[in-house]
Structure 1
Amino acid sequence: MSSKKATIALRGVHKTYGRTTALDGLELDVREGEFFCLLGPSGAGKTTTLKTVAGLELPDSGAVLLDGADMKGVEPYDRGVAMCFESYALYPHKSAYDNLASPLRSPRHRLPAAEARERIGAIAELLGISALLDRPVGRLSNGQRQRVALGRVLVRPARAFLLDEPLSHLDAKLRQQMRAELKAIGAVQHTTTLYVTHDSVEALALGDRIGVIREGRIVQTGTREEIWYQPYDTEVARAFGRPRINLLPGAVTADGGFRSADGKVELPLRAQATPGMDVLVGVRPRDITLTGPGHELTGTVYVTEVLGRAIEVTVRIGELHVSLVAPRSEAAGLRPDDPVRLSVRPENLLLFEADRPERPGRRIGTR
């Protein structure tokens, strides 16, 4: 099968294991050459989605399409996709080099030895494992094994890469470095990539688009800007950003503004909602300032926490606690119970229906 990049589509895919529903009518579109991140918590259906695309799991109903062609009855080997498992799936008795070379020695993807060495060398250098190629896999650390497993996928000509949490076993510094490398690899390879992660930072850093999956369904698909500024519901809003978004409970006033239950917080709203409606106002900590223009709120410092060059400040306003991130130059002198004034721009406020037991509160659109 050729190495030209492919589109990936899932149409109404259902998959159950006994009484457990893994995929519940999943709809997904990955464009040609796109780096698409599928984000969700453990058990959301991420890995099952990848295995279904690869042909390692067969859907109970629905269709998997590669380049518009239905994959029903097409064996995994014939789909032209390469998958990296979170569990490495390496040959433990072979060297790192031989593990990387194994796809290029198969009848389907066989390359001349010199060309294979050149390809393996380039991928090994990108992944920072050039010095490890002669070492047996059994003598590698977990992080090194994970990079070898990723490299074994990337050396193989494929129409699409399917990557299942490929950085999950790396330490924080190496993960950050590898995120940058992965983006570079994507640009070099120009290969359609479906990348699974539970890490929202990773999804925001890597994804051309992001799909948020929950209980076997895609809740929202969009660019990082769309997901960040227009989250579908409060659960999507909470999933992105550290510190987490502030969600302030209250109700819509007669004049279309917002008032908290204790009346201590009043905010103008750009979104139109029914007066008296129970709502949550969302504002991200980085959109609240201690100085500058905007609607003013007054409160007292509850606690501060240093975050490198910035400081997270939690402010008590009546019964509510509001978090913000401020430069150290502005917040270094703040102590608990100090009075502070906060500024919030109305255009940065998000409005949601109040959370219900059966579902998160959905975003209410702007005027």
Structure 2
Amino acid sequence: MATIDVRSVRKTFGKLVALDDVSFSVNDGEFFCLLGPSGAGKTTTLKSIAGLVQPDSGEVWLGGRDAGDIEPNHRNLAMCFESYALYPQHNVFDNMASPLRSPVLRLPDAEVRERVGRTAEMLGVGHLLDRGVDQLSNGQRQRVALGRVLVRPANAYLLDEPLSHLDAKLRTSMRAELKRIAHGELNTTTVYVTHDYVEALSLADRIGVIKDGRILQVGTPQQVWDTPETAFVAQAFGKPRISFVSGGLVSDNGTIRFISSDGAITVPVPDLDTTAAAAGESVRIGIRPRDLVLHTGAGAQPEGHERLDGVVYVLEHLGRQTEVTVRIGESLVSVVAPRGDVGGLAVDDKVSLLLDPATVHVFGDSDDGRRLTR
């Protein structure tokens, strides 16, 4: 196993800045997820760690040593590419065995057979070892590509969207299996790239959120969920997505309140960091759909909650739950409600949303706006 330290790495391709002062550390034996949209710089980061891309500036340290002078084949890292990169002329067994037979390892045939057989069974492709690559589905190829990485002993595994080509059912089961493998059988330092927040939350010990070649936040799954550092990080997690409303901060008898641009939404901001924001500043608030309660008039309003009145804009029935989008003035706010709570609700019906102000996130008024609540 090994530690990985990425220190102020910058990489450009012509005028495109792929990585811009990227820094983060991965602890020995840690499962670290790099989460971001397409084009964020995730794969370039992995390739920089592997030595397949040479940074313009900055350093990559492996196991406490500057890896700048270590050739890729001597870094003892195993990488899974999103594009499979399987050898079409070989069957499944030979594809998975290829790293074990390489000049670097050259393991005995008996150990090769044992490792390939165990890993193939672990990934559910044990019955496919004699098949050619052209006889496999995309999902099977994905598992073989992952198996070719996991079969070999390595200081760290670099996994680039290894589940992206699986169907939803298989992806869920493989995610659970990969977590068991990574945290149990292998217990090896892993950097896992994904655009899927569910994968990041369920697999990672820590998550690094990346956008436009810059790391926006690094933290545990709970930290990035509870205290996102920017509006972009907040909207990267959760479905339905967090609702944003733009407006400003005003002082009301010693209490700082948020008022939306059209005045339709007003809520106190009890946890505002007054060293970072003050009354009069333009901000946006973020409200997670599951932090709201749909209120149609029945029952008492919980103490300390704010009431936001609006009309139903969209109803989306999702089995046992319904996502209700409510128009409040010029803003759209989503809430997730149990199916029984929506009753005979229809578009344009009047409803109220109940909100605990302590759950409100406040950011600067842009996607890159920094968090202004503690």
Structure 1 CA distance, aligned partners of 2:214 and 2:72? 24
* Superposed CA RMSD: 1.5
Could you tell me which amino acid in structure 2 is paired with residue 216 of structure 1? G
Superposed CA offset, 1:317-336 (max 9, x none):
12221101111121243211
TM score, norm. by length of structure 1: 0.94
Structure 1 CA distance, aligned partners of 2:336 and 2:288? 9
Structure 2 CA distance, aligned partners of 1:32 and 1:341? 49
Structure 2 residue matching 1:163: 3-state secondary structure: strand
Question: Does the CA contact (< 8 Å) of 1:280 and 1:354 recur in 2?
Answer: yes
Question: Does the CA contact (< 8 Å) of 2:271 and 2:358 recur in 1?
Answer: no
Cα offset, 1:64, TM superposition: 0.8
- Decide whether aligned partners of structure 1 residues 136 and 41 sit closer, same or farther in structure 2, where only a CA change above 3 A counts: same
2:169 is the counterpart of 1:169: no
Counterpart for residue 210 of structure 1: 207
Superposed CA offset, 1:75-133 (max 9, x none):
11110100001111111111111111111222432333333323222222221212211
Query: Which consecutive unaligned segments of at least 5 residues does structure 1 have?
Result: none
- Decide whether aligned partners of structure 1 residues 185 and 329 sit closer, same or farther in structure 2, where only a CA change above 3 A counts: same
Counterpart for residue 316 of structure 1: 327
Could you tell me which amino acid in structure 2 is paired with residue 7 of structure 1? T
Structure 1 residue matching 2:86: 3-state secondary structure: coil
2:211 is the counterpart of 1:199: no
Could you tell me which amino acid in structure 1 is paired with residue 292 of structure 2? I
Counterpart for residue 278 of structure 2: 274
Counterpart for residue 52 of structure 2: 56
Query: Which consecutive unaligned segments of at least 5 residues does structure 2 have?
Result: 296-300
Structure 1 CA distance, aligned partners of 2:344 and 2:163? 38
Structure 1 residue matching 2:354: 3-state secondary structure: strand
Structure 2 CA distance, aligned partners of 1:229 and 1:267? 19
Structure 1 CA distance, aligned partners of 2:289 and 2:175? 25
Could you tell me which amino acid in structure 1 is paired with residue 321 of structure 2? A
Structure 2 CA distance, aligned partners of 1:131 and 1:332? 50
2:269 is the counterpart of 1:258: no
Which of 344, 358, 372 is residue 364 of structure 1 equivalent to?
372
Cα offset, 1:348, TM superposition: 0.8
Which of 276, 288, 292 is residue 288 of structure 1 equivalent to?
292
Structure 2 CA distance, aligned partners of 1:225 and 1:91? 40
Cα offset, 1:68, TM superposition: 0.9
Structure 1 CA distance, aligned partners of 2:75 and 2:135? 33
Cα offset, 1:57, TM superposition: 1.1
TM score, norm. by length of structure 2: 0.92
Structure 2 CA distance, aligned partners of 1:276 and 1:348? 22
Counterpart for residue 360 of structure 2: 349
2:72 is the counterpart of 1:72: no
2:18 is the counterpart of 1:22: yes
Structure 1 residue matching 2:244: 3-state secondary structure: strand
Could you tell me which amino acid in structure 2 is paired with residue 314 of structure 1? T
- Number of equivalent positions: 359
Deviates more, 1:331-340 or 1:9-18: 331-340
Deviates more, 1:342-351 or 1:332-341: 332-341
2:92 is the counterpart of 1:92: no
Structure 1 CA distance, aligned partners of 2:10 and 2:280? 40
Structure 2 CA distance, aligned partners of 1:176 and 1:134? 27
Question: Does the CA contact (< 8 Å) of 2:207 and 2:219 recur in 1?
Answer: yes
Question: Does the CA contact (< 8 Å) of 1:109 and 1:157 recur in 2?
Answer: no
Question: Does the CA contact (< 8 Å) of 1:9 and 1:64 recur in 2?
Answer: yes
Structure 1 CA distance, aligned partners of 2:370 and 2:224? 13
Superposed CA offset, 1:178-233 (max 9, x none):
11111111021001000111222221221111101122221110111111111111
Question: Does the CA contact (< 8 Å) of 1:85 and 1:164 recur in 2?
Answer: yes
Counterpart for residue 298 of structure 2: none
Counterpart for residue 236 of structure 2: 239
Structure 1 CA distance, aligned partners of 2:325 and 2:278? 30
Question: Does the CA contact (< 8 Å) of 1:311 and 1:332 recur in 2?
Answer: no
Structure 1 residue matching 2:69: 3-state secondary structure: coil
Cα offset, 1:297, TM superposition: 1.7
Structure 2 CA distance, aligned partners of 1:67 and 1:37? 19
Could you tell me which amino acid in structure 2 is paired with residue 337 of structure 1? D
Could you tell me which amino acid in structure 2 is paired with residue 360 of structure 1? D
Counterpart for residue 181 of structure 1: 177
